[in-house]
Structure 1
Amino acid sequence: MTALVPIPPLTGPAPATARGELAALVALASPLVVANLLQMAVYAVDVVFVARLGTVELAAATLGVYLYSVMMWALVGLVGAAAPVIAAELGRRRHAVREVRRSFRMSLWLAVLGALPFLVVLAQGETLLRLAGQDPVVAARTGAFLDILLFAMIPSIAAAAMRVTAAALGRPGWATAVTALALGVNLLGNWLLVFGHWGFPALGLEGSAIASVITSTAMLLAYVVILVTDRRIRRFRLFGNWWRTEWSRLLEIVRIGVPIALTMTFEGALFSSAGFLMGLFGVTEVGAHAIALQIAAVAFQIPFGIAQAATIRVGMAYGALDRAWMARAGWVALALGIGCMVVTAALLWLLPRLFISVYIDVDAPANARLVALTLQYLTIAAMFQLFDGGQAVAAGVLRGLQDTRVPMLIALFGYWVVGFGTALALGFWADWQGVGIWVGLAAGLFAVSLLLIWRWHRRDALGLTPDALADAKLLAISQAAAIDAR
């Protein structure tokens, strides 16, 4: 029997003011935002190196990474459900060591078990692309690329589970440090293996895939060392009894996590589908869409990091059965997320050519039409920054309440009925082309943001917040039963 280790609260008492909550949220969110931005740089490294190999290799890598990323982010959402569960356990505080360890252990099990079927799919990458009508040469190169890249899946998902656990335990700074390490490893790995420096073989596209596997493994090992040695985290002995099953906890994480995974898939698929629709208008439209979307994606990392922190803050309040703290944590997070996006929207509105110049020469005559289209799309992107920030943080605060199923349905309706429907109507029937597609994206984000914020506002009436007295009795009964069972 594992002894219970009493621990002090990781964050102290609930902040009594909005200012205090804001300070706690910023302290938690800032390292996560930086880590998200660094992760974008990690992805960019692969593109920079592979692009020099030629059009076929770049196309193969792009298609391969798309298939891999859709599956990986779904699994990240799945294991990320451990964050609100752990946060709630910390909010309750009693027996937190044992309960946190259970949640962490089952999130790691889920990382492995959930990845296995996806590995089988990725191993059939060439066949899937041939069935989708892709060029046979590109499909063959993509298959070779994925045959190596699939080995990065389990380390990446396991590292994601460790990252959210470290953040929930009050150590978000490690996410920044590990992602910075990943950036350095990926840069070095691509430099050595793609073009063959310092005596290493020039492996081209396969070298980039190997570099990704090495990078994901390095991240996993770094997090293992951190979780074992960090003074605050090691008290939880997270790897203790790693073989022991906790099926009820696994099912709880699956119950919360599957809707999160599907929500992320719905959103990602909408933006990917927009790229395919752009291809019907021309190559220049696709290029402009890609540049504008990349700029918007970088800006999105700010509210995404705030949303990750908000899940933990609201989750702790949820576990503590403190409705006032829940409300304060949620509204402060929404205000901060939307406020940050006001700033990014203003920057995109005022300085669009500056951001575009990072990717292409805006003064070159040959790029005139590309620049003009990108400016149009960025104007719309500036408008939907507020909606994007709102939906991201609103989803995060609702996850803190362990409310994920209805938000998933909202995402399905908002992105695919409102968003995709508007894109089709304006892009093709109204003949607005690329502008219509982007207005459709904005419409989808607006609908999801509005509905999620409404749901958060009505959380008490909808029964999303706990009844403190009833839940306290149930908690006491369940804990007593757990102790007797042990």
Structure 2
Amino acid sequence: MKLTNYTKEFRYNMKLAYPIILGMIGHTVVSIVDNIMVGKLGPTELAAVSLGNSFVFIAMSLGIGFSTAITPLVAEADGKKSIEEGRLAFHHGLYLCTILGSVLFALIYFCKPLIAYMGQSEEVVELAKPYLDIVGFSLIPLIMYQAYKQFADGLSETKYSMWATILANVVNVVLNYLLIYGIWFFPKLGIVGAAIGTIASRIVMLIFMHYMMNTKTKFHPYFKGFTLKEIKKEINIKIIRLGTPSAMQMLFEVVLFTAAIWLCGIIGVTSQAANQVALSVASLTFMFAMGLSVTAMIRVGNQKGKSDFIALRRIAFSIFLLAVLLEIVFALLFIVFHEYIPKVFVKNNDVIHLVENAEVVSIAAKLLLVAAVFQISDGLQVVVLGALRGLQDVKIPMYITFVAYWVIGFPVSFYLGLYTELKAVGVWIGLLSGLSAAALFLYLRFNYLTKKLITNY
């Protein structure tokens, strides 16, 4: 097949993807802004935010991963032109996401004492605890917001979540500035101020999303008849069967990166702070691949609803190609600017922490070189995973990601990080190994399934 058969889809792919990308960058920017502002307080405060967020990210991965079950169901219903199927997917998805967000907050609250037994600095642990309480509670509005977002994405209406996250970032930055440093008559709360900014921004995001969608005519049929009496066990089970493996897939990857935070914390505070700097930057570029992953989920789900499997395969491969090209560009940028980017995250004229900050910059620069290499495999694996979710194939990919991240990736990170001179760089080489294995095996899975669908149709 000619290359133009794939590249001609780039324009529509990006039309769908760019609001998702901007929205996801918005989520990441909330974290990056926290890191930059908190980083000005010192390496210990930055390490505390990193440790606190490591717990929240684990819970968040379960919630966001579970919510992705809504998008392929709504996209398939949209392909069939069935408003009723889409409405039921939305209502049941929102119901389940509300319950899940509350459960995840409760788990974080009661598991908080565990951070004292993870080999982290006592000073870092004490700073992390109050931060964790507040940011943990923000999971409830965040996971509820995800239900709205995934539903809108399934209808190919991707701009609403973009505007919601832009607004949330404005709220977060303003409150961070006022509350972290104690500007004007506001109290100086340090990292607790950053936590308050985060929870406020997520509540605003949820309220904005509900208001905007509820006022648009297109969404009116989907908002009708939302009562607890209409909740059906069989639809809940269908969403849970799709959502649980998707949640586990995301959990396996997020916990791998969280384990990297913990391993770097064992190596030392500067390694942990450097890991957070490099991870913040890599997460930002990863959002482009995440946006294309959702695009793959939407478009593959639409074609599945139409039973046009030849177009499905062609469209999916066009998204894979676009993702790889974008990630190559980011990899080159990481290589060129790896020594300059980390300096943004530290206070360069801080005499008290001069040596520590210099070490953070040095380590983070090396980590960005490794991140440059895994940009491509990381981008490809998440986009193929989105396409598989669009096919509603989630169980086998769950096993694939577990093996890639935890049988291949983590042992490499553990050994190279703690038992060789590579230290933090060794931890990231393990991440590279796991992501590359995931990209290969998920691609083989998608290739097999789509050929089988075409042959059997």
TM-score surpassing 0.5?
Answer: yes
Q: What is the match of residue 51 of structure 2?
A: 63
Q: CA deviation at 1:373?
A: 3.4
The unaligned stretches of length 5 or more in structure 2 are: none
1:392 counterpart = 2:382: yes
Q: What is the match of residue 408 of structure 1?
A: 398
Q: CA deviation at 1:203?
A: 4.5
Q: What is the match of residue 482 of structure 1?
A: none
1:451 counterpart = 2:441: yes
Match of 1:151 among 124, 137, 155: 137
| Correspondences of 1:25-424 after superposition (within 5 Å) | 25-51=13-39, 58-93=46-81, 96-132=82-118, 139=125, 141-197=127-183, 199-234=185-220, 236-243=221-228, 244-360=230-346, 366=355, 370-424=360-414
**Kept after mapping to 2: 8 A contact 1:318/1:465:** no
**Kept after mapping to 2: 8 A contact 1:307/1:397:** yes
**Kept after mapping to 2: 8 A contact 1:362/1:371:** no
AA partner of residue 102 (structure 2): L
Q: CA deviation at 1:182?
A: 0.1
AA partner of residue 46 (structure 1): D
**Hey, what's the Cα distance between the residues in 2 that align with 1:285 and 1:295?**
16
Give TM-score scaled by structure 1 length.
0.84
1:228-259 deviation per Cα after TM superposition (whole angstroms, max 9, x unaligned): 1124333x332532322122222111111111
Would the alpha carbon gap of residues 282 and 164 (structure 1) be closer, same or farther in structure 2, given more than 3 Å must change?
Answer: same
Q: Which has the larger radius of gyration?
A: 1
**Hey, what's the Cα distance between the residues in 2 that align with 1:411 and 1:265?**
10
Q: What is the match of residue 21 of structure 1?
A: 9
Q: CA deviation at 1:137?
A: 6.5
**Kept after mapping to 2: 8 A contact 1:401/1:464:** no
Would the alpha carbon gap of residues 140 and 34 (structure 1) be closer, same or farther in structure 2, given more than 3 Å must change?
Answer: same
**Hey, what's the Cα distance between the residues in 2 that align with 1:368 and 1:52?**
14
Would the alpha carbon gap of residues 431 and 147 (structure 1) be closer, same or farther in structure 2, given more than 3 Å must change?
Answer: closer
**Kept after mapping to 1: 8 A contact 2:102/2:139:** no
**Hey, what's the Cα distance between the residues in 2 that align with 1:198 and 1:373?**
36
Would the alpha carbon gap of residues 129 and 371 (structure 1) be closer, same or farther in structure 2, given more than 3 Å must change?
Answer: closer
- SS of 1:403's equivalent? coil
Q: What is the match of residue 474 of structure 1?
A: none
**Hey, what's the Cα distance between the residues in 1 that align with 2:271 and 2:123?**
25
AA partner of residue 80 (structure 1): T
1:77-103 deviation per Cα after TM superposition (whole angstroms, max 9, x unaligned): 10121001111111122xx21111100
**Hey, what's the Cα distance between the residues in 2 that align with 1:144 and 1:371?**
28
Q: CA deviation at 1:110?
A: 0.9
Q: CA deviation at 1:146?
A: 3.6
Q: CA deviation at 1:311?
A: 0.5
**Hey, what's the Cα distance between the residues in 2 that align with 1:111 and 1:408?**
20
Would the alpha carbon gap of residues 296 and 126 (structure 1) be closer, same or farther in structure 2, given more than 3 Å must change?
Answer: closer
Would the alpha carbon gap of residues 391 and 152 (structure 1) be closer, same or farther in structure 2, given more than 3 Å must change?
Answer: same
- SS of 1:458's equivalent? helix
AA partner of residue 374 (structure 1): A
Q: Report the number of matched residues.
A: 449
| Correspondences of 1:458-473 after superposition (within 5 Å) | 458-460=448-450, 468=457
Q: CA deviation at 1:408?
A: 1.0
1:144-189 deviation per Cα after TM superposition (whole angstroms, max 9, x unaligned): 3344334322211111111121222222112221111000111222
1:397-456 deviation per Cα after TM superposition (whole angstroms, max 9, x unaligned): 111101111111111101111111223344455654333322221111111100011111
Over the residues paired in the alignment, what is the CA RMSD in angstroms?
2.8
Identity of aligned residues (%): 31
Q: CA deviation at 1:191?
A: 3.3
**Which structure has more helix as a fraction of its residues?**
2
The unaligned stretches of length 5 or more in structure 1 are: 1-15, 469-486
**Kept after mapping to 2: 8 A contact 1:123/1:143:** no
Give TM-score scaled by structure 2 length.
0.89
- SS of 1:353's equivalent? coil
User: Higher relative CO (CA 8 A, sep ≥ 6), structure 1 or 2?
Assistant: 2
1:446-482 deviation per Cα after TM superposition (whole angstroms, max 9, x unaligned): 1110001111111145x567955xxxxxxxxxxxxxx
After the TM superposition, which segments of 4 or more aligned residues of structure 1 sit over 6 Å from their partners?
A: 361-365
AA partner of residue 114 (structure 1): L
Would the alpha carbon gap of residues 218 and 427 (structure 1) be closer, same or farther in structure 2, given more than 3 Å must change?
Answer: closer
Would the alpha carbon gap of residues 288 and 221 (structure 1) be closer, same or farther in structure 2, given more than 3 Å must change?
Answer: closer
**Hey, what's the Cα distance between the residues in 1 that align with 2:392 and 2:370?**
33
AA partner of residue 385 (structure 2): A
Would the alpha carbon gap of residues 131 and 438 (structure 1) be closer, same or farther in structure 2, given more than 3 Å must change?
Answer: closer
